[in-house]
Amino acid sequence: MRFDGLVGTRTGKSTKGQGALRKALLVGVCVTALGLVPAAAVATPGSGVSGTVVAEGTSEGPLRIDPPEGRADVTFRKITVQPGGSTGWHTHEGQLIAVVKSGTLTRTLHDCSVEVTSAGTSFIEPSGADHRHIGRNLGTEPVVLWVTYLLPEGSELSDDAAAVDCPGA
């Protein structure tokens, strides 16, 4: 007499009950195997680590990130624009991701469009000389920005640019 399979069924004479037994045994083996997985695979609480959210903002639409090719310099910067102040017309060689922590920033862009961004919102500034812009604080409280720069390695944070001839800019 020859036996076949895990539960010793006779070749050619498997019954319905033995098929159920085979499935139960397989489930039992799997459950036992999961119990033998090393403890490192189970999440553990951290220790000695703290974090502080310094600013958060929600974009008005999808954020499209286009990081520089090759090596990139990543810089995180807090920028304050006093009431009546401005950044001057400038460009960036890479993208910036900005969160307005407080105040309201008014930006005039290369095409003379104006974007007003208030506290609790975020935006991306595109890269390139064809994306000149200026940021102004037209309000009565300081504008505080938290900005992450994604620039090609060795680039300046910004480059001065000629003003665009826009009404009121």
How far apart are the C-alpha atoms of 137 and 144, rounded to whole Å?
10
* Per-residue confidence band for 9, with pLDDT thresholds at 50, 70 and 90: very low
* Per-residue confidence band for 5, with pLDDT thresholds at 50, 70 and 90: very low
Is the confidence at residue 40, as pLDDT, over 90?
A: no
Is the confidence at residue 121, as pLDDT, over 80?
A: yes
- Contact criterion met (CB below 8 Å) for 149 and 73: yes
- Contact criterion met (CB below 8 Å) for 137 and 88: no
Is the confidence at residue 21, as pLDDT, over 80?
A: no
Residue with more model confidence, 28 or 140: 140
Is the confidence at residue 41, as pLDDT, over 70?
A: no
One-letter amino acid at 152 equals P
**Average pLDDT rounded to a whole number, residues 129-133:** 94
Q: What tokens appear for 13 in the block?
A: 């004479």
Question: What's the pLDDT at 46?
Answer: 80
Quote the mean pLDDT of the chain: 81
Is the confidence at residue 33, as pLDDT, over 60?
A: no
Q: Which helix (H) or strand (E) holds 33?
A: helix 16-35
Say which range, 8-12, 27-31, 122-126, has the weakest mean pLDDT. 8-12
3-state secondary structure of 144: strand
Is the confidence at residue 18, as pLDDT, over 80?
A: no
